[in-house]
Structure 1
Amino acid sequence: MLKIVGIAGSIRRESTHTAILRVLKERLADRVELDLVSLAQVPLYDEDLEHSPPQEITTLWNAVRSCDGMIIGTPEYNHGMSGVLKNALDWLSRPYRNSPIKGKAVLTFTASSAFTGGVRAQAQLNETISAVEAIRVAFPQIAVGSSHTKINNGVFNDETIEFMLEGVGSLIEMIEKISRGLITSS
């Protein structure tokens, strides 16, 4: 069974992104092990700590290093991805050229209370995914607009989940191509 790490770029207790990842985890349970990794305890990136990182970073690195692929979602804050997610991606990009995220297949999504669904944040997230040498899944943009209307009692309930499951199908295909050596990072 494939192991996928899900990361929500929001650490809010009632995070839409975590709610979406929980539904994906439930819907994929027979095909994929989806582990949700919280960024709540990830300290600010500090290059001085890179060679003897805090335990929270070692845990994050190990989760990503041992997975087959990733699903990353972010809210849009001031036209960009969340600071906690950018910080985590900075940690995951280290050590340079031997980072745990290098060569990992990554499916991205955004959700926002705005009708645009966080498309500007997704553009920034996708650019960063390329910069850290992960391999972004080629799939139409997954952006959940008016997301606050699609959560009921902490559960994401919207037909967008079907589209997201198609995206996960593309993620699985990419993971298989990477494992066969058909796709590599630069």
Structure 2
Amino acid sequence: MSRITIAVIVGSLRRESFNRRLAVALARLAPPEAEFKQLEIGDLPLYNQDDDGQQAASVQRLKSEIRAADGVMFVTPEYNRSIPGVLKNAIDHASRPYGQSAFAGKPAGIIGASVGAIGTALAQQHLRNILAYLDMPTLTAPEAFIHAKEGLFDEAGNIGPNSKAFLQGWVDAYLAWVKKHAA
């Protein structure tokens, strides 16, 4: 596999999201042969099974972008000890109708940042349960529960020096996971 394409789904719509910043900074740690593409999820309608027969253009776009990728990286905050509703909505759309999931077999990576000391540990665990059902081989180690605090990012938006080695290791491990599992 000479070129790797990673679909990046950020579970936050907030303009100054720590997780969006994290997704951008992680992409900068990747080697040149890896392309990280953030997918738009803010324009998706609320999932309604009645619409499965005629999915909205935004849903069809999302599913097409996921299918075209070699892997999917989820970068999520933690809301009320779980994943944000916007992320669950995107997952529901891209995995439906039953038997037509865009996620099946796609190697997944989960990471997230939060101002809380345990980062996004509980949201990530909930997401792992969902991805297991969706038949996504998910990187289990290293885990990365990022505490969003002063110094996580430098002034240019890159990962700061105290976290760079750890997060470089996470990116490298995830890309190796994708190479191992991508069809």
Residue in 2 that maps onto 1:183: none
Q: 1:99 aligns with which of 98, 101, 114?
A: 101
Residue in 2 that maps onto 1:3: 5
Q: 1:170 aligns with which of 146, 161, 173?
A: 173
Matches of 2:31 and 2:172, distance apart in 1: 13
Shift in alpha-carbon separation, 1:105–1:50, aligned structure 2, 3 A: same
What TM-score do you get using the length of structure 1 for normalisation?
Answer: 0.87
Contact 1:11-1:38 within 8 A present in 2 as well: no
Matches of 1:164 and 1:129, distance apart in 2: 22
- Deviation of 1:154 (Å): 8.0
Matches of 1:87 and 1:119, distance apart in 2: 20
**Which residue identity lines up with residue 166 of structure 2 in the other structure?**
F
What TM-score do you get using the length of structure 2 for normalisation?
Answer: 0.89
Matches of 1:179 and 1:131, distance apart in 2: 18
Shift in alpha-carbon separation, 1:140–1:67, aligned structure 2, 3 A: same
**Which residue identity lines up with residue 160 of structure 1 in the other structure?**
S
Write the deviation string for residues 99-146 of structure 1: whole angstroms up to 9, x where unpaired. Answer: 11010000001211111112111111111111222111121221111x
Unmatched runs of 5 consecutive residues or more in structure 2: none
Unmatched runs of 5 consecutive residues or more in structure 1: 181-186
- Deviation of 1:29 (Å): 5.2
Matches of 1:81 and 1:46, distance apart in 2: 19
SS at match of 1:155: coil
Matches of 1:140 and 1:176, distance apart in 2: 16
The list of structure 1 runs, each at least 4 consecutive aligned residues, that deviate by more than 4 angstroms after superposition, is 151-154
SS at match of 1:33: strand
- Deviation of 1:69 (Å): 0.3
- Deviation of 1:95 (Å): 2.7
Residue in 1 that maps onto 2:116: 114
- Deviation of 1:98 (Å): 2.9
Matches of 2:48 and 2:39, distance apart in 1: 20
Fraction of identical pairs, as percent: 26
Aligned 1:29-44 pairs, distance under 5 A: 30-44=32-46
Q: How many residues align?
A: 179
